[in-house]
Structure 1
Amino acid sequence: MKRRLDEAIDSYLAFAALEKGLAENTLAGYERDLKQFASFAVNKAGVGKLNDINETVVSDWIYALSDRGISNASLCRKLSSLRMLNAYLLREEWISRSFVELVAGPKLIRKAPDALSVKEMEGLLETPDLTTPMGLRDRAILEMLYSSGLRVSELCEAKLQQFDIANGAVKVYGKGSKERVVPMGFQAVIALSGYLEQGRPHLVKSKTGSACFLSNRGSPISRKTVWALLKKYAAKAGIAKPVKPHGLRHSFATHLLSGGADLRVIQELLGHADISTTQIYTTVETERVRTAHDEYHPRSKGASDI
């Protein structure tokens, strides 16, 4: 029996959700990538059956995405999603040969994350209006993203019981539901306490659960809302470059490294499984040191001409 590609994708996604226990956001990303490929295979390549999928179809998809200006990082992620589907189908004997084995992914150049300066970060933190419940909430959100380096999904999903105000710590459930305990800075504790005592009670509705950060409707705050409030406060603070939730996480790590923190400690705080993911921050510090040397060392002038 010839199986359809969409049938295979649905089977893999069900497996990934139940057996692998992938996070909801991760699973949603895989689903988008795979269904995008299925749409291309059927509508552009005229292929809908599993046995007709081959390296040519996959390569044509990658090239088509590249021609649309999709970044190499996104292309690598999409190809990774397809490789995981391929591995599942081989293991379950839905297919007899790989359709991605000979497909070379685009070269991924890891660039240093765009972090805010300490001055920019201080300006951003001062922008919320602390006389309103929403302002108290927003200040606490900014402080938590920067002080503890949380992912935006970790912040949005955080429950009240995860916060230990007395000891200045928060229990975080990261990717793959991995648990870590992260310190909260003094200013973050003050901001969070102010929100919990004077802000959150005004946002609670009859059906509100234990989510810490609430919308004006009393439901857990969404990632989209956090993105929007960051954009608003960045403009108010006069920060010209784009400011995203992950940018505050980058700033957290970069400022720790600049202050002398050990890379392994930063890895643990960020919840990175592999130290190589954390090492990208050394690029930022190396560039900072290089710039300082070029600017201030008397023997540095003209070095680029040698």
Structure 2
Amino acid sequence: MLNRDQKRIFDKIKSHLISQKEREDLLENESSRLLRLDNTKPLRMFISGVGGTGKSFLIEAIKCLVDDIWHPKSGEIMCAIVAPTGIAAFNVGGLTIHRLFQLPIEHEGKTAGYWTLSKEAQKRIKMTLKNLKIIIVDEVSMVSNLNLAYLHMRLEDIFGTDEWFGSKNILFVGDLLQLPPVNGRPVFKKISNKLVKTRLGAANAVNIWKETVEYDELTINERQKGDETFFKMLDSVRHGCLTDETIDTLKSRVFKVSIHEKYKELESEGTNPPICLFSKVDACQKINELMLESLETEKIELACVDVVDESGSTA
């Protein structure tokens, strides 16, 4: 069930999408010139919120809403959920923003310039997204201002319009105080004139975020309910303003024993041990192996096979 904060934003989106569906139905049944000149603006929202405010839950609710309104056929994409990384995309049941929209990818630390798709690739992506109603971009803090521009330009190409983001509804979700883009500047920063010329092939820079996005925020924290001390600690870390009390609390949790000894200690705490954070992969893998070995079940190993997809498919 949505809390009152989530429901407020959900109802706003619901009202817009239902109105859009009603206009589409009228257009299908009438040839009214006034309807065809309808200039209702698409949704362009940034839904902010700290960790635990239910952003992912709201995303799932919006996807279900789109399904309820339009009843997409199997394989039909009407609500495109994307994120800047594979893990982030997996967490919300989506694809990476680069894969779905075929965006330029950075190689060896060098920023790629924008390129238009081949006629064949453009035909495929147009077919894939022909009934798209809304785009949801999760973990927007990791999307650079340049990739935001690339997304806008790609959507222009796909839908044949110079309106922002192909005149599609678009929701950006995340916390801009979380992880920043790798080798890039945040979405809210204006692109430098140099990058505009060398990467976008344009003459003038524009702050897309400032020009287009409406702000809203989730404020009710569901995850840290009943633990005000932990919530305040996380909030101070989020703002980069650690108090002496927070620093002392964090230091008190640092363990100096071996990983094996720490595992034995955690094992004795039963079925709900605390989370352990490690700065090195080897240490993390070691304690995970110890925990897995303690399970009284058959161990099954699944071998991963990487395959290069050269078809250009976005499915």
Task: Flag whether TM exceeds 0.5 (same fold).
Answer: no
Higher relative contact order (CA 8 A, sep 6+): 2
Q: TM-score interval w.r.t. the shorter chain? A: under 0.3
Decide which structure has greater helix share: 1
Q: Normalization by structure 2: what TM-score? A: 0.27
